[in-house]
Amino acid sequence: MDRARPFPNVVLIVLMLGGAVAWLTLPAISVAPNRIVQGTPQHAVAALGWGPTLLVLMPMLAMAVLAWRPTPRRLPGVLALVIVLLIAIPLWLSGVAASMEPTARLGIGSALWCLLFIGLLALIELRSRLALSRPLGWALLVPVVLVWWGCLTQWLAPLALYREYQGRSDQFYAALAQHLMLVGAAVSAAIVLGAGLALAMRRHSRLRRAGFGVLNVLQTIPSIALFGLLLAPLAWLSARFDWLADLGVSGIGWAPAWLALLGYSLLPMVRNIFVALDEVDPAVIESARGMGMSRRQVFLQVRLPLALPVVLEGVRITTVQAIGLTAVAALIGAGGLGTFVFQGLGQAAMDLVLLGALPIIALALIADALLSALTDVLRQGGTT
């Protein structure tokens, strides 16, 4: 056993050397005098000189060296260096911003995107090597997010993405709220309807076959097509019935978006609830009956708690999927963060696209993390 001299961690070495090459050869930023003109790309050295460039380079090279002999005592050091790297990026950007004209706009270049991506990959790699728990992995990102936030509010005013946000911060929060509301409304309706359907399917096998058949076909129809197919009937309904029109139902807007989201959410929801209820060990049910529990008690106190983690898994899949589909719903005027994406694409304003796309990704990741953490907690609670 040569535990003292473990094999080199090839993954980290490749990542860090790749990061170093990207940092030195790709443009790190782009500078534009105003919103309309396209920015000119600049390399890191040209933007802020050799000193700061090497300061960002150091943690990467240090990590590559440490990863050559990744002893258990060195790996936490590598982890700390990744955090240092992710914190160094906004500080370096702040340095660039300090020397810029007040009206100029600073865009993030491909080298910086590469570094951010490589930093996150290194975090994922280290998390699995060190066997860190999921919450701890997320906790590691807290200092990084805080430093980014501090830099943004203090020094990074010229950052084009931040400019776009400042110009429409009210709209941004309204869109965020709209996005969350649509997702929430669709997922909660899917839970209620899905539970009802799953329970009915347990009783009637014919309904089960037909139900899964319809939901499966629905799931394969592309979202943009389903939104489009709902447009005509809903427009007709709202023209026919005044009370529907008063509710705000029309061919475009929230109504077709919500209906389509609900349709897409039903399959994962129904499937998971059905499987969850079905998979509970019959012996457990038997013994609960033997203890003199009524049918109702068995369902509420035994079957449901045991099924809950799998049901939550369904809620997680549904929520993540709905967050992405709601972005598409912006095309039919349902609002939400997708509005910025499509507006930005229409005006060829890439920072506006980012202002929509990055929060959508963040929302999906956060929803995924929170709901899987909740599932873990319930699983542990179930086994003790």
Partner 1 sequence: MRGNAAAALRWSRRVGWWKPLAWLGLLLALCLGMGGLEGLFRWLEPDSRQVLYARSSFLVLLGQHVMVVGLASLAAVILGVGGAVAVTRPFGRDFLPLVSQLASIGQTFPPVAVLALAVPVLGFGTLPIIVALLLYGLLPIVRNTLAGIQGIDPGVHEAARGMGMTRGQILRQVELPLAAPVMLAGVRTSVTINVATAAIGATVGATNLGDPIISGIVNGNTAYVLQGALLIGILAITVDSTFERVQSWLVQRD
**Residue-by-residue DSSP string for 108-159:** E-HHHHHHHHHHHHHHHHHHHHTT--HHHHHHHHHHHHHHHHHHHHHT-TTB
252 near partner 1, rule: CB under 8 A? yes
- Report the site for partner 1 in 172-201 (rule: CB under 8 A): none
Q: Note whether 370 binds partner 1 by CB under 8 A.
A: no
Say which residues have a Cβ less than 8 Å from residue 189's Cβ, sequence separation at least 6.
258, 262, 265
What is the pairing mode between strands 105-108 and 27-32? antiparallel
Candidates 52-60, 125-133, 142-150, 170-178; binding stretch for partner 1 (CB under 8 A): 125-133
Single residue of 116, 130, 180, 357 touching partner 1 by CB under 8 A? 357
Q: Which is nearer to partner 1, 223 or 288 (CB)?
A: 223
The mark string for 274-293 relative to partner 1 (x by CB under 8 A, - otherwise) is: xx--x---------------
Told to check if 235 binds partner 1 by CB under 8 A, we report yes
Among 59, 119, 251, 335, binds partner 1 (CB under 8 A): 251
Sorted by sequence, the CB contacts under 8 Å of residue 207 that are 6+ apart come out as: 200, 201
Q: State yes or no: residue 221 binds partner 1 (CB under 8 A).
A: yes
User: In the complex with partner 1, which residue's Cβ is closer, 14 or 293?
Assistant: 14
Residue in 304, 350, 373, 374 binding partner 1, rule: CB under 8 A: 350
Quick one: which of 106, 118, 156, 353 contacts partner 1 (CB under 8 A)? 353
Check if the beta carbon of residue 26 is closer than 8 Å to that of residue 111.
Answer: yes
Give the shortest CB-221-to-partner 1 separation in angstroms.
5
Q: Is 364 in the site for partner 1 (CB under 8 A)?
A: yes
Q: Does 151 bind partner 1 (CB under 8 A)?
A: no
What is the closest distance, in whole angstroms, from the C-beta atom of residue 323 to partner 1 in the complex?
Answer: 6
Can residue 249 be called a binding residue for partner 1 (CB under 8 A)?
no
CA separation for the pair 215, 192 (Å, rounded): 16
* Residue 110 Cβ vs partner 1, minimum distance, rounded to whole Å: 7
* Chain centroid offset of residue 42 CA: 30
User: How far is the C-alpha of 369 from the C-alpha of 141, rounded, in Å?
Assistant: 13
Residues 372, 316 contacting (CB under 8 angstroms): yes
Query: Quick check: 129 binds partner 1 (CB under 8 A)?
Result: yes
Please classify residue 366 by burial: count the beta carbons closer than 10 Å to its beta carbon, then call 0-12 exposed, 13-18 middle and 19+ buried.
middle
Burial 160-196 (b: 16+ CB within 10 A, else e): bbbbbbeeeeeebeebeebbbebbebbbebbbeebbe
Where in 6-35 is the site for partner 1 (CB under 8 A)? 9-11
Pattern of binders to partner 1 over 97-116, x per CB under 8 A? -------------x------
Which is nearer to partner 1, 21 or 232 (by Cβ)? Answer: 232
CA distance 11 to 15: 6
CB 256 within 8 A of CB 224: no
Spatial separation of the C-alpha atoms in residues 229 and 222, rounded to whole Å = 11
Q: Which of 76, 196, 248, 346 binds partner 1 (CB under 8 A)?
A: 346
Nearer Cβ to partner 1 (119/344): 344
Nearer to partner 1 (CB atom), residue 10 or residue 377 = 10
**Strand, coil or helix: what is 174?**
helix
Calculate the CA 290 to chain-centre distance. Answer: 46
For residue 26, the surrounding DSSP H or E stretch is none
Contacts with partner 1 by CB under 8 A lie at 9-11, 110, 121, 124-125, 128-129, 208-209, 212-213, 217, 220-229, 231-232, 235, 251-252, 271, 274-275, 278, 320, 323-325, 327-328, 331-332, 338, 341-342, 344-346, 348, 350, 353-354, 356-358, 360-361, 364-365, 368
